[in-house]
Amino acid sequence: MLRSMYSGISGLRGFQTKLDVIGNNIANVNTVGFKKGRVMFQDILSQNIAGATAPADQGGKGGTNPIQIGLGSQMASIDTVFSAGSPMQTNLPTDLSIEGDGFFMVTPDDGTTFYYTRAGNFTRDSQGYLVNSQGLKLVDSGGGTIQIPQDTYVSYSIGKDGVVTTVDAQGALDTPFTIGVMKFNNPGGLKKIGNSLYENTNNAGPFDGAPDTPITAAQAQVSIISGQLEMSNVDLSEEFTEMIVAQRGFQANSRIITTSDTVLEELVNLKR
């Protein structure tokens, strides 16, 4: 059987995966805090037809290079690109964005389990907790949750250092909370679990190796901007260009398969 047919099949599979990733990027072009993906390819092991030879001594024959035939391509990785998204001004005090390489920490169970997100569209629930759209609570720098009940505080503000400043009914100022964040050596090692959330993995490399110990914005060397959201980092012009490349690659590999099929048909027809 022709090697070219199997090479074409491997190319079809790869470009189909690339189109899947591009489709997901475009679907999330307006998703708050979304980070686009990209597909990287690598070649498959080559078949050796002849090995390399060394040059002969004393003016003999020169050396020859190896003769190899490639056996197609395969997917090397699907990377998450953590470049910054465009900021969108909302002027809502609970809408937060991180300026720099950091993540908000949220918890579903008051500090036993932690997830990470760049989506800062938080709101206050009926008990005054700052929660995201799934009801997960925003974590402070001490590992607890942030609660700003209306019957205790009449107003509040959030500074660039993540400090929550509150004002009570008597006009007294207080700073009971500092928003906790997490920084990773390798954000691409995080695992997407849906709902704009990430989960720690063995290759993410959290700050000081403690994924359940939040740090302050100052420690992470980031700024927290109130009244602003970080939008998706998907560039539609780039995605449509990559879509054209993937489409043409898919068509070219399809042509390899049909051409190989024609050659096989000719071989079968040699004996009539």
Looking at residue 59, what is its pLDDT? 75
Closest to 4 measured CA to CA, from 77, 76, 98, 71? 71
Report the predicted TM-score, pTM, of the whole model to 2 decimal places: 0.89
Looking at residue 1, what is its pLDDT? 58
Looking at residue 145, what is its pLDDT? 95
The DSSP bridge pattern shows strands 163-167 and 103-107 to be unpaired
- Compute the residue count for the chain: 272
Looking at residue 39, what is its pLDDT? 96
- Compute and round to an integer the Cα radius of gyration of the chain: 27
User: What is the mean pLDDT of each successive set of 10 residues along the chain, which is 272 residues long?
Assistant: 86 95 97 96 90 85 90 94 95 96 94 94 95 96 93 93 94 94 96 96 94 95 96 96 96 93 88 71
Looking at residue 45, what is its pLDDT? 85
**Domain boundary assignment for the chain:** 3-45+69-82+234-268, 87-230
Q: What is the 3-state secondary structure (H, E, C) of the chain?
A: CCHHHHHHHHHHHHHHHHHHHHHHHHHCCCCCCCCCEEEEEEECCCEEEECCECCCCCCCCCCECCEEECCCEEEEEEEECCCCCCEEECCCCCEEEEECCCEEEEECCCCCCCEEECCCECEECCCCEEECCCCCEEEECCCCECECCCCCCCEEEECCCCEEEEECCCCCEEEEEEECEECECCHHHCEEEECCEEECCCCCCEHHHCCCCCECHHHHCCEEEECEEECCCCCHHHHHHHHHHHHHHHHHHHHHHHHHHHHHHHHHCCCC
